A = this chain, B = another copy of it.
Amino acid sequence: MNAAVIGVGYWGPNLVRNFSKHPTIKKVYCHDVDGERLSYVCREYPTVEAVSNYTQILNNPTIESVVIATPVGSHFELAEAALQKDKHVLVEKPLTSNSDDAKKLVELALKKKLVLMVDHIFVYHGAVKMMKEIIDSGEIGEVMYFDAVRINLGLFQHDVNVIWDLATHDLSIMNYLLQKKPIAVSAVGVNHFNTLEDIAYITLFFSNSCIAHIHVNWLAPVKVRRILIGGTQKMIVFDDMETVEKIRVYDKGVDVTTKEGIYKTLIQYRTGDMYAPKYDTTEPLAMLTNEFISAIEQKSEPITNGDAGLEIVKILEAAEKSIKNKGAIIELRDGL
């Protein structure tokens, strides 16, 4: 099987590296509008073949799959063209810059019976998979909240604001881990240097009392990558800045009893052991590359398929609409 990687800026080279070393992939082709960058990456990965023109890739019938790692604005056009040419497509997150485009891609892939997958990289992180197992097992009880902080200094993106850039990660983790999907979103954001928001706060509402909140910030002096998940029985902290033991499970909670007298309810705290489960430390992008190639070979749906990508785009779109409307609640119709 041959593959082509389109766009080799910041993230593309990692895709090139992983596809190059995958045993199923015979040859990796590579394209970028920036010829200098293209030459540089091909020198770094000498087995890769540079192609100066996307049309050549589209017209090459030996290339079965296309990986798109260009700026978000070009995802739809490039992915659509590849699907039209019967190629399986893996698109860098977020899938597209609006939900209409995402829907069109999902439908086109369905019609063409092709794999459409989005690079929600954290879904393939061993620590996230471990959290999924823990939550699915019922160990932490019902999820009461999901709180994510993803802040640091830079890198400002030129075509998308901080939510399309950073919050995509937390939303994809949230959608993967939680059994329920959000029903509405509210967000506020501010911009300080150009028209793109550099700080934003997103709140997500569910059909029950669960709440999710995401803080993304390109202007923070310290790097924080932390997700708290509060269950009725236990609570999880995922701290991606730890070098090892990124997940900690706390046997902590609140017990409520009804008691006659002054206070209607009596709240008691429960605290027990904490543990840090071992998890698979395989490079997430290697897992994702496998998932994409397996889906093609086995004609199966990848975990982060087009629908998963569409859901995130819908939320991002709603969040952006909310920002423009000063935090107004935007319902996520169609059950996400």
Q: Tell whether, in the assembled complex, residue A267 and residue B154 are in contact, meaning their CB atoms are under 8 Å apart.
A: yes
Q: Tell whether, in the assembled complex, residue A267 and residue B156 are in contact, meaning their CB atoms are under 8 Å apart.
A: yes
Q: Tell whether, in the assembled complex, residue B275 and residue A154 are in contact, meaning their CB atoms are under 8 Å apart.
A: no
Residues of B within 8 A of A188 (CB): 186, 203, 211
Find A213's partner among B46, B192, B201 (CB 8 Å cutoff). Answer: B201
Q: Tell whether, in the assembled complex, residue B278 and residue A271 are in contact, meaning their CB atoms are under 8 Å apart.
A: yes
Q: Tell whether, in the assembled complex, residue A267 and residue B193 are in contact, meaning their CB atoms are under 8 Å apart.
A: yes
Known A209-B190, A269-B153, A274-B275; judge A230-B221 contact (CB<8 A).
yes
Q: Tell whether, in the assembled complex, residue B271 and residue A277 are in contact, meaning their CB atoms are under 8 Å apart.
A: no
Question: Binary interface profile of A, 243-278, with partner B (CB < 8 Å = 1, else 0)?
Answer: 101001011101010000011110101011111111
Residues of B within 8 A of A210 (CB): 190
Known A256-B193, A267-B156, A273-B276; judge A220-B209 contact (CB<8 A).
no
A150 part of interface (Cβ distance < 8 Å):
no
Which are the 8 A-B pairs with shortest beta-carbon distances?
Answer: A221-B235, A221-B250, A275-B275, A46-B46, A274-B276, A156-B267, A190-B211, A193-B256
Residues of B within 8 A of A219 (CB): 144-145, 230, 235, 254
Q: Name which residue of chain B comes closest to A204, CB basis.
A: B188
Residues of B within 8 A of A63 (CB): none
Inter-chain pairs besides A219-B235, A221-B248, 9 sampled, C-beta below 8 Å? A144-B192, A147-B220, A158-B263, A186-B188, A203-B327, A219-B230, A221-B230, A221-B236, A222-B250
